[in-house]
Amino acid sequence: MEYLTVALPKGKLFKISADLLAKADIYAEGLTEKSRKLVITNEEKKVNFIVAKTADVPTYVEYGAADIGIIGKDVLAETEKDVYELMDLGFGKCHLMMAVPGDKRREKLTDWAHTRVATKFPHIAEKFFNRHGMQMEYIKMNGSIELGPIVGLSESIVDIVETGTTLKENNLTEIARIMDASARLIVNRASFKLKFDRIDKLTRDLRKILEREGTP
C-alpha cells in the first residue's frame, strides 16, 4: 500500500478532524497541533500527516504535497485552489457575512458602496460586492477583523460568524449574509486517480461514521 498524506489545519477544525479520521483508521501517534514536528507518520498504517496553517491546506493539496486535506469551505472558496471537494463533513458550521457598527446602519446595502471593508476574505468579498454592482476598497487583514470599524480602519467587515458572540461584543450588526461554510474533505486531482481505492474507501468509511454518529 502507498502512503496517504493528509493535511490538517491548525485551529478550530484540528481536533475534530483528527478524531474523525482516527475513527476511519487514519491516525498517527503524537498527532497534535502543538507538535513541533510538522510531519507525523504512522508507518504501519502508511499515513503521513502534515500539520499546516489553515490557509495553506488547499495549497498542499493542490500541488500534491498532500493527497487529501480537511478545510473550511470559506478558506477553500477564498484560496480558489484547483482541488476536488469530495465531501461536506458537516462540522465547523459558520457563515460569512458583512457587518457594520450597530449605530451606523444605512437603508440599503448599496448605500455602503465606495467604503472600506476589512476582511480576511477579499476574493469572496469582492465577488459578493461585484454581484451587487458595488465597488469597494478592500483592506486585507489576518485576524481580529472586528477591530476594523472600531479603530476607524474601515466602515465595515466581511468575516465569519459562528455563535455571534464576537459581533455582539464589538457592537457590530450583520447586514448581509454572503455564504454558508463547513468543513470539507478535499483531494488532489492526481491522487484521486492514483490512490482511488484508498480514498474511495476512506470517503465511504467517513460517510458511514457520520451517518451512524451524526455530525461531530
* Binding of ligand PRP by 163 (CB under 6 A): yes
194-209 as b/e: b if 16+ CB within 10 A: ebeebbeebeeebeee
Q: Which of 16, 139, 161, 175 binds ligand PRP (CB under 6 A)?
A: 161
* Binding of ligand PRP by 164 (CB under 6 A): yes
Q: Which of 8, 47, 145, 202 binds ligand PRP (CB under 6 A)?
A: 145
Q: Which of 38, 108, 143, 214 binds ligand PRP (CB under 6 A)?
A: 143
Tell me the residue number closest to ligand PRP, measured at CB: 143
Q: How far, in whole angstroms, is CA 202 from its chain's centroid?
A: 20
> Least distance (Å) from ligand PRP to the CB of residue 53?
12
Q: How far, in whole angstroms, is CA 52 from its chain's centroid?
A: 12
> Least distance (Å) from ligand PRP to the CB of residue 120?
6
* Binding of ligand PRP by 162 (CB under 6 A): yes
* Binding of ligand PRP by 56 (CB under 6 A): no
* Binding of ligand PRP by 1 (CB under 6 A): no
Dihedral sign from CA coordinates of 143, 144, 148, 153: negative
Element (H, E) at 100: strand 94-101
Phi, psi at 107, each rounded to 5° = -60, -50
* Binding of ligand PRP by 180 (CB under 6 A): no
> Least distance (Å) from ligand PRP to the CB of residue 159?
5
45-58 as b/e: b if 16+ CB within 10 A: eebbbbbbebebbb
Q: Give residues in contact with ligand PRP (CB under 6 A).
A: 143-146, 159-166
